[in-house]
C-alpha cells in the first residue's frame, strides 16, 4: 500500500528509512509473537539460546532486567534489547531465531511468514532475501544458492568459521565493504588452520593449503592471488576502506565461498 502511494505521488524513500520501517514491522509481528511463546519452547529458552549464538551473556541480561524486581517471576528481556532497533542486528537475530526454533517447525514457518510480509511491504529493495531460514545479499541471484547459501551448509561443522562467513554476508547487506573482505579472510584463514591443524596465518599456510587441496597450476594461481589480495587488504585496510569497488567485493565474497567449499571437500568433507 505504501509503495503504491509513493508511486502515485512520485515519492522515493531512501534505504535507511525503509530499513527502519522493516525493523518496526518485525518488532510488532515476529518479535511480539515469539515473546509470547510458552509451548513448544518457552521464550526464556529462546532468548537464552539467541544470546549464546550472538556471543552475549544471557545471565547478565536477565540480572539487568530483574534487578529492581522482588517477584518470584523471572522477566525476560525483549528481543529489541539485543537489536537496539538496528537493521543489521535485527536480521541477524531473525536468523538465529529461526535456528533456535528447529524443533518447532510450525513456529519457524510463522516466523518466515512475518519476515516475508515485512519484506513485501517495503517500498524499495532492501538488498536482502530471506530463504530457507537465513538472510543473504540479493546480488547475483543465480549465484546466491551455490556460492552464498551453500557454504554455510558446508561450514556446519566449523561454527566459528561459519559465524565469520555469516558476518561477511551481514556486512554485505549493510554495504560495509571492508568488513566483507575482512571477515571472508578470517573465515578462510580459520578453515585452513582447522584443516591443517595449526595456528599459522593464511599467508604462512599458503603452500601447504595448496598442496592439501591438490589444485591444478591454473587454480593454484587463482588461490594464490586470493590470498595475496586478502593479505594486502588486511595490511592496508585503513587506506583502502573507502576505495573498495562493490562489484569487486561481491566477487571476493563469492570466491571465498568457492575456496571454503573446495578446502573442506579436499580435506575429506562430504557434501551436506
The structural domains of the chain, with segments of one domain joined by +, span 1-126, 139-272
| Residue carrying C-alpha cell 530471506 | 130
Write the CA distances from 108 to 43, 102, 134, 243, integer angstroms: 14, 7, 11, 40
Helix (H, G, I), strand (E, B) or coil at 70: coil
Taking the whole predicted model, whether its pTM rises above 0.85 is answered as: no
pLDDT in tens, 134-193: 887 775 454 556 666 677 778 888 989 988 988 888 788 777 888 888 999 999 999 999
What pLDDT shows up at residue 125? 85
Give the separation between CA 207 and CA 244, rounded to whole angstroms.
28
Mean pLDDT is highest, among 35-44, 163-172, 213-222, for 35-44
**Of the candidates 15, 35, 16, the residue with the CA atom closest to the CA atom of residue 26:** 35
Nearest to 93 by CA among 135, 60, 61: 135
Q: Which of 125, 137, 196 is nearest to 168 (CA)?
A: 137
How is 117-150 classified by DSSP, letter by letter? HHHHT-SS--SEEEETTEEEE-SSHHHHIIIIIH
> Is the pLDDT confidence value at 236 over 90?
no
Q: Using only C-alpha atoms, what is the Rg of the chain?
A: 21
* Peptide bond preceding 66 in cis form (omega within 30 of 0): no
Give just the sign of the alpha carbon dihedral 133, 52, 25, 151. Answer: negative
- In the beta sheet, which residues pair with residue 129? 136
User: Is 240:233 a contact under the CB 8 Å cutoff?
Assistant: yes
Length of the chain: 272
Cell readout for 142 is 543465480
CA 179, CA 100: separation in Å to the nearest integer?
26
* pLDDT for position 145: 60
According to DSSP, residue 56 is labeled -
- Out of 1-5, 63-67, 70-74, least confident range: 1-5
Cα angle: 134, vertex 261, 179; to 5 degrees:
60
Amino acid at each position: 500500500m505504501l509503495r503504491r502511494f509513493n508511486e502515485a505521488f512520485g515519492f522515493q524513500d531512501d534505504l535507511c528509512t525503509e530499513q527502519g520501517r522493516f525493523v518496526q514491522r518485525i518488532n510488532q509481528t515476529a518479535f511480539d509473537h515469539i515473546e509470547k511463546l510458552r509451548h513448544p519452547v518457552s521464550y526464556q529458552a529462546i532468548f537464552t539460546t539467541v544470546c549464546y549464538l550472538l556471543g552475549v551473556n544471557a545471565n547478565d541480561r536477565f540480572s539487568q532486567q530483574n534487578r529492581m524486581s522482588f517477584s518470584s517471576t523471572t522477566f525476560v528481556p525483549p528481543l529489541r534489547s539485543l537489536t537496539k532497533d538496528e537493521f543489521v542486528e535485527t536480521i541477524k537475530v531473525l536468523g538465529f531465531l529461526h535456528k533456535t526454533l528447529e524443533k518447532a517447525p510450525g513456529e519457524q514457518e510463522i516466523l518466515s511468514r512475518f519476515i516475508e510480509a515485512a519484506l513485501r511491504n517495503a517500498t524499495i529493495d532492501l538488498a536482502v532475501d530471506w530463504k530457507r531460514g537465513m538472510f543473504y545479499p540479493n546480488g547475483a541471484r543465480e549465484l546466491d544458492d551455490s556460492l552464498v547459501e551453500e557454504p554455510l551448509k558446508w561450514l556446519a561443522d566449523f561454527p566459528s568459521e561459519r559465524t565469520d562467513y555469516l558476518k561477511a554476508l551481514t556486512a554485505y547487506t549493510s554495504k560495509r565493504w571492508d568488513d566483507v573482505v575482512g571477515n571472508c579472510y578470517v573465515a578462510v584463514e580459520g578453515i585452513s588452520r582447522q584443516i591443517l591443524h595449526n595456528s599459522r596465518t593464511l599467508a604462512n599456510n599458503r603452500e601447504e593449503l595448496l598442496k592439501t587441496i591438490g589444485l591444478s597450476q591454473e587454480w593454484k594461481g587463482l588461490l594464490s592471488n586470493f590470498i595475496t589480495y586478502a593479505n594486502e587488504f588486511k595490511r592496508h585496510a585503513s587506506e583502502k576502506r573507502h576505495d573498495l569497488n562493490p562489484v569487486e567485493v561481491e566477487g571476493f565474497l563469492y570466491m571465498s565461498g568457492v575456496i571454503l567449499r573446495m578446502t573442506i571437500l579436499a580435506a575429506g568433507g562430504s557434501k551436506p
